[in-house]
Structure 1
Amino acid sequence: MKIRKIAIVGGGTAGWMTANHLGVELCRDPDIEITLIESKDVPVIGVGEGTVPRIKETLKKFGISEVDLLSSCDTTFKTGIKFSNWMSGKSSAKGNYYYHPFSSPYPQGFDITDYWLQAEKASGFSRLSEIFSIAESDRCPKHKSSPPYVGAVDYAYHFNAGKFSDLIASNAKSRFGVKHKFETVEDVRLNADGDIESLIYASGLEEAFDFYLDCSGFSAVLLGKALQTPYEDKSSQILTDTALVLQEPTSESSTIQPYTTAVAHKAGWIWDIPLTTRRGLGCVYSSAHLPEAEALGEFSSYLGRPLEMDDVRKIPMKIGYRRDFWKKNCVALGLSQGFVEPLEATSILVTDFSANLLAKSFPRFSQDIEVLSGYYNRSVKYTWDRVIDFVQLHYCISDRRDTDFWVDCTEGAPMSDVLEERLERWSITTPKSSDFFSTFDIFGVENYLFVLYGMGYSTKSIVIGEKERVEAEKILRDLQGRSERMAEELIPHRSWLSELQKQLSKMGAHSQ
Structure 2
Amino acid sequence: MISTVVIVGGGTAGWMTATYLKAAFGDRVGVTLVESARVPSIGVGEATFSTVRHFFDYLGLDETEWMPRCSASYKLGIRFEGWRAPGHHFYHPFERLPVADGFNLAEWWLRLGDPAEGFDRQCYITPWLCEARRSPRALDGSLFASGLDGPLGRSTLAEQRDQFPYAYHFDADLLAVFLAEYGRDRGVRHVRDDVVGAGQDERGWLTCVRTREHGELTGDLFIDCTGFRGLLINKTLGETFTSFQDVLPNNRAVSLRVPRRDPERMNPYTTATAADAGWIWNIPLFERDGTGYVYSDAHCTPDEAERALRDLVAPGRDDLEANHIAIRVGRNERSWVRNCVAIGLSSAFVEPLESTGIFFIQHGIEQLIKYFPDARWDPVARDRYNDAVAHAVDGVKEFLCLHYRAAGRDDTPYWKEAGTRPVPDGLAERLTVARSMLLDENAVYPRYHGFETYSWNTMLLGLGQIPAAPRAALAHLDPARAHAEFARVRETARRLVAALPSCHEYLATIN
TM-score past 0.5 threshold? yes
Matched residue, 2:127:
132
Letter in 2 for 1:3: I
Percent identity (aligned) = 31
TM-aligned CA distance change 1:318 to 1:307, over 3 Å: farther
User: C-alpha distance in 2, partners of 1:252/1:427?
Assistant: 43
Question: How far did 1:52 drift?
Answer: 1.2
* CA drift at 1:60: 0.5
Q: 2:487 aligns with which of 477, 502, 505?
A: 477
Mapped partners of 2:14, 2:316: distance in 1: 36
Distance 2:20 2:510 in 1: 29
What is the aligned partner in structure 2 of residue 171 from structure 1? Answer: 182
Which position in structure 1 is the counterpart of 2:155?
A: none
2:156 matched to which residue of 1? none
Matched, 1:158 2:169: yes
Task: Report the Cα offset of residue 255 of structure 1.
Answer: 0.7
Matched, 1:445 2:453: yes
Q: Does 1:116 align with 2:92?
A: no
- Which residue of structure 2 lines up, in the alignment, with residue 417 of structure 1? 425
1:364-403 correspondence to structure 2 within 5 Å: 364-365=374-375, 367-403=376-412
Work out the CA distance in 2 between the residues paired with 1:41 and 1:500: 34
The alignment status of 1:105 with 2:100, answered yes or no, reads no
Query: Aligned pair 1:87/2:84, yes or no?
Result: yes
- C-alpha separation between the residues in 1 aligned to 2:309 and 2:263? 24
DSSP 3-state at the match of 2:479: helix
Q: Does 1:21 align with 2:20?
A: yes
**Whole-angstrom distance in 2 between the partners of 1:31 and 1:23:** 9
Per-residue CA deviation, residues 427-458 of structure 1 (Å, 9 max, x unaligned), is 22211123347452311202112111111112
The CA deviation at 1:37 is: 1.0
In the alignment, the residues of structure 2 paired with residue 147 and residue 356 of structure 1 have an alpha-carbon distance, to the nearest angstrom, of: 29
How many residues get paired? 490
Amino acid at match of 1:159: F
Are residue 52 (structure 1) and residue 12 (structure 2) matched? no
CA distance in 2, matches of 1:240, 1:11: 26
CA contact under 8 A between 1:296 and 1:307: conserved in structure 2?
A: no
Distance, in Å, in 2 between the alignment partners of 1:167 and 1:220 is: 24
Tell me how far 1:310 sits from its aligned partner. Answer: 7.7
Q: Secondary structure at the match of 1:379?
A: helix
Alignment of 1:290 with 2:300, yes or no, is yes
Higher mean Cα deviation, 458-467 or 423-432? 458-467
Q: Could you report, residue by residue, the CA deviation over 1:217-262 in whole angstroms, capped at 9, with x for unpaired residues?
A: 1111110111011210111111111111110123574310000111
The change in CA–CA distance for 1:162 and 1:192 in structure 2 (over 3 A counts) is same
Moved more, 486-495 or 422-431: 422-431
Separation of aligned partners in 2, 1:204 and 1:171: 23
| Residue pair 1:130, 1:153 contacting (<8 A) in 2 also | no
Aligned-residue offset at 1:170: 2.5
Structure-1 separation of matches of 2:182 and 2:401: 36
Separation in structure 1 between the aligned mates of residue 357 and residue 216 of structure 2, nearest angstrom = 31
Contact 1:248 1:279 (C-alpha < 8 Å) held by counterparts: yes
Secondary structure, aligned partner of 1:488: helix
What 5-or-longer segments of structure 2 have no aligned partner? 151-162
Specify every segment of 5 or more residues in structure 1 that has no aligned partner in the other structure, as ranges. Answer: 90-94, 502-512
Kept in 1: contact 2:251–2:296 (CA 8 A): yes
Kept after mapping to 2: 8 A contact 1:115/1:472 = yes
Separation in 2 of the partners of 1:253 and 1:441?
A: 35
Q: Which of 58, 67, 72 is equivalent to 1:75?
A: 72
> 1:147 Cα deviation (Å)?
4.4
Give the corresponding residue for 2:8. 9
**Could you give the per-residue CA deviations for residues 351-391 of structure 1, whole angstroms, max 9, x where no partner exists?**
111111111221122x2242211111112111111111111
Structure 2 CA distance, aligned partners of 1:107 and 1:129?
A: 12
CA shift at 1:213, angstroms?
Answer: 0.3
Q: Which among 179, 187, 200 is matched to residue 190 of structure 1?
A: 200
Deviates more, 1:324-333 or 1:449-458: 449-458
Output the CA distance in 2 between the equivalents of 1:311 and 1:207.
Answer: 36
Q: Distance in 2 between matches of 1:204 and 1:303?
A: 44
CA RMSD of aligned residues (A): 2.1
Q: 1:353 aligns with which of 363, 366, 373?
A: 363
| Correspondence for 1:434 among 442, 447, 452 | 442
Comparing 117-126 and 39-48, the one that deviates more: 117-126
CA distance in 2, matches of 1:38, 1:263: 35
User: 2 CA distance for matches of 1:48 and 1:337?
Assistant: 20
Deviations along 1:381-428, whole A, 9 cap, x unmatched?
1111111111121111012111111111111x1111111111111222
- Measured at CA, do residues 55 and 204 of structure 1 come closer, stay the same or move farther in structure 2, by a change above 3 Å? closer
TM-score after normalising by structure 2: 0.91
